[in-house]
């Protein structure tokens, strides 16, 4: 299974309520394997909103006839509700961001598959350790597909 197969719908129109004193952020929601992006569009003066999926510890969806709500409870105690246009879009986006799509594997526990990877790696739940070991034989330096996020340089 390709990692990209976990994403059923890559984007939808959404609204993110931001509290009683701020207008909701409305725009295009983009779903990737690692994060959610909400872009209000080029004409807006509001910044892009980004959420790393690994910061979500609880996920809930509610669907009505023509829309849906995805509630995300984050590890930093934030609770976010995304109002998605279209029930079908909500149902397609939900499996892409559910946290049970990933698991922790210790297939590289002794660093024998890939000396550059850590002992424990995050991989898709549907890929077993045998498949990871087989794919490491074909990757340069024993590399195999894992969930990673690039480190950004420190601010000056």
Q: Are residues 17 and 76 in the same domain?
A: yes
The predicted pLDDT at position 130 comes to 92
Q: What is the pLDDT of residues 46-77, one digit of tens each?
A: 666 777 777 887 888 899 888 888 888 888 88
Q: Which band of pLDDT confidence, cut at 50, 70 and 90, is reported for residue 7?
A: low
Q: Are residues 43 and 93 in the same domain?
A: yes
Q: What is the pLDDT of residues 105-152, one digit of tens each?
A: 899 999 999 888 888 887 877 889 999 899 888 888 888 777 665 444
- Is there a domain that residue 41 lies in? yes
Greater confidence, 42 or 61? 61
Q: Are residues 20 and 82 in the same domain?
A: yes
What residues make up the domain containing 79?
Answer: 3-97
- Is there a domain that residue 127 lies in? yes
Greater confidence, 95 or 81? 81
Backbone angles phi, psi at 142, to 5 degrees: 80, 15
Domains of the chain: total = 2
Cross-strand partners of 31 = 36
Candidates 49, 43, 101, 98; CA nearest to 73 is 98
Q: Calculate the average pLDDT of the chain.
A: 77
Candidates 78, 62, 100, 64; CA nearest to 17 is 78
Would the pLDDT of 97 be above 60? yes
Q: Which of 44, 63, 97 is the last residue of a domain?
A: 97
This model's pTM is above 0.75: no
Q: For residue 65, give the CATH number of its domain.
A: 2.30.29.30
Q: Are residues 44 and 85 in the same domain?
A: yes
DSSP 3-state of 46 = coil
- Is there a domain that residue 152 lies in? no
The predicted pLDDT at position 2 comes to 46
């Amino acid at each position: 299974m390709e990692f990209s197969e976990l994403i059923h719908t890559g984007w939808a129109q959404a609204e993110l309520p931001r509290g009683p004193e701020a207008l909701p952020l409305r725009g295009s929601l983009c779903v990737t394997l690692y994060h959610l992006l909400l872009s209000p569009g080029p004409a807006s003066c509001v910044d892009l909103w980004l959420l790393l999926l690994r910061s979500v510890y609880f996920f809930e969806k509610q669907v009505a006839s023509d829309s849906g709500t995805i509630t995300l409870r984050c590890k930093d105690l934030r609770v976010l509700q995304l109002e998605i246009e279209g029930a079908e879009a909500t149902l397609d986006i939900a499996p892409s961001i559910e946290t049970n799509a990933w698991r922790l594997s210790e297939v590289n526990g002794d660093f024998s598959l890939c000396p550059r990877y850590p002992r424990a790696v995050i991989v898709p739940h549907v890929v077993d350790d045998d498949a990871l070991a087989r794919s490491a034989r074909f990757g340069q330096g024993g590399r195999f597909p894992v969930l990673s996020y690039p480190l950004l340089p420190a601010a000056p």
